[in-house]
Amino acid sequence: MTPEEVKRDFIAFMERLHSRDAYPRNFFGVLTCLLIEHDSVSQDRIVELTNYSQAAVSIALQKIQLVMPVTTIKKTGDRKKYYTFNGSPEDFVLMLMKKRTDVSDIDKQMVKELLNRTESLPRKHKSVTRFSNHLKGLLSLLNFMEDVRKRSIELLRKSLETGKFSESYLSDLSKIKINEITRILSHISPTNLSSQESTQAQHVFPSEFLALKREFSKGIQRSINPLFSQSAAHLVMVIHSVMIDGSSTQEAIQESTELSRSTISEILSHGLERQLLRVERVSGSRVKIYLPNISLGGLLTSHYSRSVSYSKSVRSKVIELISKIDTNNQDSRDLLKALHEIKCVYSILEDFTANLESFLMKTIDL
C-alpha cells in the first residue's frame, strides 16, 4: 500500500471505530488526519484524505478545537488556514482518556439537589424509594469515579512517560475508599420488577416524582461531555430511566425522558446490542418490557472494559498497516515512524486499562 492509501485506510478505520461509541460524525476522521500527518494540514488536504465535504470538515474542526489542543496557523502569502495537533501520540491518548468520561459527565451538584428534593417526597409509592436509592448510589459512584479517574490518569501518564506499564503503579489506587463504595452499592442494588408488575406500575407515578425524573434526564443531557454526540446523552438517559424503574416500557421511558419515540427506539436497540439492557415480552401481549442488564457497580468498570477492546483494535489495525506499507520513499519512512509511535502508545494503553479493569473487578468483587 502507498502512504496515501495507508493514511486513508487508518483514518476511515478510526472514524468507524469511534462513531459506534457516540462521537460526533466525522469527528475522529478529521482528528486522526491531524495526528497522522507529520506537518500542519490545510482544510483541502483533510477533505482529500477523508473524502468528507468542506462543510463537514469545517464543522468537525470547530468541535475538535473545543476539546482538543488543535491550533489554526496562517502562513505568509497563503490565504489558506492550516491546522495542527499540538502534542505527541502520548499526549493524544492521554487527553482523549482524560476527556472521555462517560458516567462521570453527570453533574454531581444536580444529583445532590434532586436527592434532597426526593427525600422530602412521601414514600407511599415504592418508585420514590427506588429513585432516592438510585441517586444515593449514583452520587457515591460519581465521587468514587472522580477519585479513580484522577489517580488512573496520573498512572497512565507515568506509564506513557516510562514507555511501559508496571503493576506496582496500581498500589496507588489502594488509597481509594473502595470498601465504602462496595458497601453502598451492595445495599441499594435495584431489584428488577417482573413483566406483570412493570405493566401494572406504568403511568401511576406521583406527579412530583415524574417531574424530578424528567429533571434528572434533562440534567444528564445538559452535562454531557462536548466530546460526545447527543446520542451518548440519550443512551445514558434511557439506561438510568430503566434502572430507576427496575423495568420499563417504551412509553414509560418516553414519559420520563421526553425523548421522541423514534429516538428511544433507536437507543433501546443500541442498549440491547451493547448488552446494557435486556427485553422480555408480557404473556399474551405485544408489549415489550426493558430491564437493566447492568448495575451501578457495572457502570464502574464498563468504561475500562470498552477501553481495553478499543486500544486492542487500534493496535491490531496499526500492526496490519505497518506490514502492508510500501517502504521505498521518504513519505513511507515518516509514516512508518508515526505508526510505530501510535502502536507503542496503544499497546501501553491496552496493558494499562486491562490491568486497571482487573484490579477494580477483583477489589470490588464485581
Amino acid at 96: L
Rounded to an integer, what is the distance from CA 259 to the centroid of its chain? 20
**φ and ψ of 249, to 5 deg:** -95, 165
Neighbouring CB atoms inside 10 A of 186's CB total: 13
C-alpha cell at 276: 446494557
Task: Outline where 100-168 has alpha helix (H).
Answer: 108-119, 126-162
H or E element that contains 358: helix 330-364
Q: What is the C-alpha end-to-end distance of the chain, expressed in Å? A: 45
| 315-324 CB contacts, 8 Å cutoff, 24+ apart | 315/343, 315/346, 315/347, 315/350, 317/10, 317/13, 318/10, 318/342, 318/343, 318/346, 319/343, 321/1, 321/6, 321/9, 321/10, 324/1, 324/6
C-alpha cell at 10: 487508518
113: which residues sit within 8 A by CB, 6+ positions away?
none
The pLDDT value recorded for residue 128 is: 83
Rounded to an integer, what is the distance from CA 31 to the centroid of its chain? 17
The pLDDT value recorded for residue 220 is: 85
The pLDDT value recorded for residue 192 is: 47
Q: For the chain, list the strands marked E by DSSP.
A: 41-42, 70-74, 81-85, 277-281, 288-292
Task: Outline where 258-329 has alpha helix (H).
Answer: 261-273, 296-324
The pLDDT value recorded for residue 290 is: 93
Asked if 82 and 74 count as a contact pair (C-beta separation under 8 A), the reply is yes
C-alpha cell at 245: 424503574
Asked if 54 and 43 count as a contact pair (C-beta separation under 8 A), the reply is yes
Amino acid at 177: K
CA distance 138 to 148: 15
325: which residues sit within 8 A by CB, 6+ positions away?
1, 3, 6, 332, 335, 336, 339
The pLDDT value recorded for residue 193 is: 47
Q: Is 203 left (phi over 0), alpha (psi -120 to 50) or beta?
A: left
Q: Distance of CA 48 to CAs 28, 54, 55, 60, 88, Å?
A: 15, 10, 13, 15, 23
The pLDDT value recorded for residue 45 is: 94
Average pLDDT per block of 10 residues along the chain, 366 residues long: 92 86 82 89 94 94 87 84 90 78 67 89 76 86 76 82 77 61 55 47 63 90 72 86 89 92 91 89 84 80 77 93 84 87 91 82 62
C-alpha cell at 209: 416524582
Any idea of the CA torsion for 181, 183, 184, 190, to the nearest 10 degrees? 120
The pLDDT value recorded for residue 195 is: 47
CA distance 322 to 343: 10
